[in-house]
Amino acid sequence: MNNQRWNATAPKSLFDQGVAGRRATTFPRWDGEDLLVELPAEVRRAEAADFPSLSEPEVMRHFTQLSTLNHHIERGMYPLGSCTMKYNPRINEKVVGLSGLADLHPEQSIDDVQGLLGALKLLEKSLCTITGFDSCSLHPAAGAHGEYLGMLVIRAFHLGRGDRDRVEILIPDSAHGTNPASVVIAGMIPRTIKSRHDGRIDLDALREAVGGKTAGIMITNPNTLGLFENGIREVADIIHEAGGKLYMDGANMNAIMGKARSGDMGVDVVHLNLHKTFSTPHGGGGPGSGPICVTKELAPFLPGPWIHEEDDGSYSLKKMPVQGSNSIHTHFGNVGICLRALAYILRLGGNGLTRCTEAAVLNANYLLRQLEPIMDVKHGQGCLHEFVASGSSWKNDFGVRTLDIAKRMLDFGVHAPTIYFPLIVEEAFMVEPTETESRESLDHLVQVLRAIHQEARENPEIVTGAPHTTPVGRLDEATAARNPDLRWAGPCNCG
């Protein structure tokens, strides 16, 4: 790590600031009876704790400064491909903070939580309407968790019919990286199918791959090249004829919401990433939500308890219909995230959600056309909400790699795109602007990339040595991700 740079911009810790006796809070005076109880000597401190003594403005400035050391959507554009880093509207926070929701306890009696159960049921129904399905489980806490549950459901369906041999899940090579991992964790075997040269699933390869071991296929749609799998109906027919089920990774729903429904495409299970499409916070490993929606046939394999709407409009909980089936989370999943997503859906309504899709696709296509003169986009035809460019020509012509471009973007206050993914594009540079960016911010991104292109041509060291303005320079990224050093080590010349 480049300590020099950290020295230049790091704020002092709170412990290195302040003056004895200064404070930010004044405690109210207690005028009642003196209730002080002497604590036993063995649990008392020998001396007062060494807390920092600071005024309120000092505390506010400190944390505001810290919040700008890392990038976030309120600070600037976040065009991270495959992540849908859209703005998280504040109304979602307001709704989830209402005391009738925020102050509930998960073990409270059913009579006390009727409002919450009603809200969750409404979310289930809304997601079923958006995807064209009959039943929904809000339990999964992330997209990959939804994939995992979907795999358990498909496996339980086959086992329920005594079909023990169906253990293979076919996965196109353009699938999201979590797909094969979820298959393995669910105890099944992923088998890759090559894409055609236009980036879509090869139906002939699929016909050859299916057989008596096929439990199903898992297909990311739109796929990670931002392309709609327009053969999906044929995929459904082929897989169903072979006795398998069609799982759709619907995390890219921001590209088709309000326009096309998985249930109408012959899909059996779909998951949604509420933290992508429905504007709930994510990133940094924060809580997410990856509900799955399924056909009537698969509904009995969803985990319980189920929220059941009685004839009189009240709600009760039903046990899971299939004994011991597929429990993956306590209660109803990440309820706070579910409520934020519901607030977003109700705020926008069906037409609003459809317009989000239209604007997300328009923004991606606008950017694609603007960037084509400086970057190759092999699979740009039919691009939906995101596209994958390639930095190969920069590498060949200027010795500047996609990693260097991404690092240099940070110096311009723009978050880097997703790089080196999907694997099927060399020097991949994957951009998803989302609908919440204005024309001006898209143009800003284009100007930044044009400026970096000029630097790469004229003075590539600026780009290959970037970033130059962030608190830390280039890290050993594998070590930083696997062994993050999150402790404050004191003021920095500590070596």
Ligand X SMILES: Cc1ncc(COP(=O)(O)O)c(C=O)c1O
Report, in Å, the least distance between residue 248 CB and ligand X.
10
**Would you say 280 or 464 has its CB closer to ligand X?**
280
**Would you say 222 or 380 has its CB closer to ligand X?**
222
76 vs 404: CA distance, rounded Å = 20
Report, in Å, the least distance between residue 392 CB and ligand X.
24
Report, in Å, the least distance between residue 251 CB and ligand X.
3
**Would you say 117 or 138 has its CB closer to ligand X?**
138
Only one residue has tokens 């916070």, namely: 281
Report, in Å, the least distance between residue 7 CB and ligand X.
35
Strand ranges across the sheet with 418-419:
387-390, 428-431, 418-419
Residue 139 — left, alpha, or beta (φ > 0 → left; ψ -120 to 50 → alpha)? alpha
**Would you say 219 or 371 has its CB closer to ligand X?**
219
Q: Can you tell me whether residue 307 is helix, strand or coil?
A: strand
Closest-by-Cβ residue to ligand X is 143
**Would you say 84 or 392 has its CB closer to ligand X?**
84
**Would you say 84 or 365 has its CB closer to ligand X?**
84
Which of 290, 318, 339, 357 lies closest to 86 in space, CA to CA?
357
- Residue 187 contacts residue 284 (beta carbons within 8 Å): no
**Would you say 200 or 453 has its CB closer to ligand X?**
200
**Neighbouring C-alpha atoms within 13 Å toward the C-beta of 353:** 24
Pairing verdict, β 428-431 and 387-390: antiparallel
Report, in Å, the least distance between residue 180 CB and ligand X.
11
- Residue 226 contacts residue 385 (beta carbons within 8 Å): yes
Q: What are phi and psi of 415, to 5 degrees?
A: -70, 145
**Would you say 143 or 216 has its CB closer to ligand X?**
143
Report, in Å, the least distance between residue 220 CB and ligand X.
5
Only one residue has tokens 């991404």, namely: 406
Report, in Å, the least distance between residue 292 CB and ligand X.
12
Q: What are the tokens at 209?
A: 């791959």
66 vs 60: CA distance, rounded Å = 10
Residue 490 — left, alpha, or beta (φ > 0 → left; ψ -120 to 50 → alpha)? left
**Would you say 334 or 392 has its CB closer to ligand X?**
334
Q: What are phi and psi of 306, to 5 degrees?
A: -95, 145
Report, in Å, the least distance between residue 195 CB and ligand X.
15
Q: What are the tokens at 57?
A: 């403005």
- Residue 36 contacts residue 30 (beta carbons within 8 Å): no
Sequence-separated (6 or more) residues with CB below 8 Å from residue 301 = 152, 153, 156, 157, 160, 294, 322, 325, 326
**Would you say 385 or 408 has its CB closer to ligand X?**
385
Report, in Å, the least distance between residue 182 CB and ligand X.
9
**Would you say 268 or 404 has its CB closer to ligand X?**
268
Report, in Å, the least distance between residue 421 CB and ligand X.
10
**Secondary structure letter of residue 43 according to DSSP:** G
- Residue 109 contacts residue 289 (beta carbons within 8 Å): no
Report, in Å, the least distance between residue 146 CB and ligand X.
8
Positions in the binding site for ligand X (CB under 6 A): 82-83, 142-144, 176, 178, 220, 249, 251-252, 273, 276, 288, 290
Amino acid at 2: N
Q: What are the tokens at 403?
A: 């990693």
Which of 431, 415, 395, 494 lies closest to 74 in space, CA to CA?
415
**Neighbouring C-alpha atoms within 13 Å toward the C-beta of 317:** 17
